[in-house]
């Protein structure tokens, strides 16, 4: 353990830890962290899971119990079918996957141009993008809605389609700048070699930049997917077609439905599960992605 502490970046050192005062401090902090993470962060999620398995009668039993009397796993299947969750999963998946594709291609290419190709005038574009990113968008809601209702010049009505969501994902300036910053670190020599071989700009992007930048593509893909999977406001505003309702909106609608509380809680669980799986699988990329994104003050 002593070796481990030396590798660490903590304030307390080995010498400190020999003193009882600091030992007590260390264990107090550990206790606080455990109480916080288990009791406050994880417990509510577990509670929803447990309560979902209760019968409505059990929920109102006095005194209330934490654990359901019997875990009937078939209830999950029943709720899944009755609430038609497969439908919402499918539409939410289409919406989120489309957003990922739009982001990776459009923001990726944008970052590539700003970072490596730098045509005359692109510096201005970068500066404008950067300032726009900092600008609060509080007055954009209504004009955006009007844009989707009747797209300027083209006069296309985009309501009741996922196109607005996908385009908004592509217009995420933060991702363009994230790509640019990552591509800035790629060595010029490889690119020059490819250029001398006569490769076109777009080929260089797909054959050289993309394989060399997989971490940033993964990070953006995961964050975009996650962000869109839980979208509520825009789908709520733009999509009235029942067949296209997404998970986030359905979860909101459930509050005014006739489904009992235990059903609603299992539904909530369904909305969390994809995210939990993604997090379990891509934990490294997600926590590492925080560093890729690097908030620089």
Positions in 172-211 near another protein (CB under 8 A): 173, 176, 188, 192, 195-196, 200-202, 205
Question: What is the rounded distance in angstroms from the CA atom of residue 259 to the CA atom of residue 253?
Answer: 11
229 lines the binding site for another protein (CB under 8 A):
yes
CB of 180 to another protein, least distance (A): 11
Question: What is the rounded distance in angstroms from the CA atom of residue 59 to the CA atom of residue 206?
Answer: 56
Give the count of residues interacting with another protein (CB under 8 A). Answer: 112
Stretch that binds another protein, among 72-80, 82-90, 118-126, 212-220 (CB under 8 A): 118-126
Question: What Rg, from alpha-carbon coordinates, does the chain have?
Answer: 25
Q: Determine which residue in the list 127, 214, 261, 281 makes contact with another protein, applying CB under 8 A.
A: 261
Question: Rule CB under 8 A: which of 142-171 touch another protein?
Answer: 142-147, 149, 151-152, 167-168, 170-171
Q: Determine which residue in the list 9, 18, 155, 242 makes contact with another protein, applying CB under 8 A.
A: 9
Residue 231 has a CB neighbour count (10 Å cut-off) of 20
Question: What is the rounded distance in angstroms from the CA atom of residue 268 to the CA atom of residue 266?
Answer: 5
CB of 236 to another protein, least distance (A): 9
Judging by beta carbons within 10 Å of its beta carbon (0-12, 13-18, 19+), is residue 253 exposed, middle or buried? exposed
Report yes or no: 265 and 76 within 8 Å, Cβ to Cβ.
Answer: no
Stretch that binds another protein, among 67-75, 82-90, 211-219, 232-240 (CB under 8 A): 232-240
Stretch that binds another protein, among 8-16, 76-84, 155-163, 208-216 (CB under 8 A): 8-16
Question: Rule CB under 8 A: which of 97-116 touch another protein?
Answer: 105-107, 109-110, 112-114
Q: Determine which residue in the list 23, 37, 90, 130 makes contact with another protein, applying CB under 8 A.
A: 37
Structure tokens at 130: 């950067």
Question: What is the rounded distance in angstroms from the CA atom of residue 95 to the CA atom of residue 225?
Answer: 9
Spatial neighbors of 17 by CB under 8 A, at least 6 apart, are 5, 23, 26
259 lines the binding site for another protein (CB under 8 A):
no
> φ, ψ for residue 172 (rounded to 5)?
-80, 100
* Nearer CB in complex with another protein: 58/212: 58
Stretch that binds another protein, among 68-76, 80-88, 207-215, 262-270 (CB under 8 A): 262-270
CB of 125 to another protein, least distance (A): 7
Report yes or no: 262 and 55 within 8 Å, Cβ to Cβ.
Answer: yes
> φ, ψ for residue 80 (rounded to 5)?
-55, -45
* Nearer CB in complex with another protein: 12/212: 12
Question: Rule CB under 8 A: which of 127-146 touch another protein?
Answer: 129, 132, 134-146
CB of 45 to another protein, least distance (A): 7
Report yes or no: 93 and 248 within 8 Å, Cβ to Cβ.
Answer: no
Question: What is the rounded distance in angstroms from the CA atom of residue 108 to the CA atom of residue 176?
Answer: 6
């Amino acid at each position: 353990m002593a070796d481990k502490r030396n590798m660490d970046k903590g304030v307390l050192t080995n010498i400190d830890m020999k003193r009882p005062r600091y030992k007590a401090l260390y264990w107090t902090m550990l206790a606080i962290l455990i109480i916080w993470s288990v009791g406050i962060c994880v417990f509510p999620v577990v509670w929803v899971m447990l309560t979902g398995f209760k019968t409505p009668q059990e929920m109102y039993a006095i005194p209330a119990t934490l654990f359901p009397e019997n875990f009937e796993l078939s209830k999950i299947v029943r709720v899944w079918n009755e609430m038609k969750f497969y439908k919402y999963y499918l539409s939410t998946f289409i919406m989120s996957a489309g957003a990922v594709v739009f982001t990776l291609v459009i923001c990726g290419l944008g970052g590539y141009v700003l970072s490596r190709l730098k045509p005359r005038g692109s510096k201005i574009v970068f500066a404008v993008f950067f300032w726009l990113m900092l600008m609060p968008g509080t007055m954009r809601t209504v004009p955006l809605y009007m844009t989707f209702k009747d797209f300027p010049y083209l006069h296309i009505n985009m309501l009741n389609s996922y196109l607005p969501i996908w385009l908004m994902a592509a217009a995420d300036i933060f991702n363009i700048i994230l790509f640019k910053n990552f591509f800035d670190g790629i060595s010029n020599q490889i690119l020059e070699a490819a250029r001398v071989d006569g490769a076109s700009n777009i080929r260089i992007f797909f054959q050289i930049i993309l394989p060399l930048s997989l971490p940033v593509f993964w990070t953006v893909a995961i964050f975009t997917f996650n962000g869109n999977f839980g979208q509520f406001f825009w789908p709520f505003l733009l999509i009235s077609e029942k067949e296209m309702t997404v998970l986030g909106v359905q979860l909101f609608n459930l509050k005014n439905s006739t489904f009992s509380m235990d059903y609603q809680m299992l539904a909530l669980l369904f909305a969390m599960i994809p995210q939990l799986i993604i997090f379990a699988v891509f934990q490294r990329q997600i926590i590492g992605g925080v560093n890729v994104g690097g908030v620089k003050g």
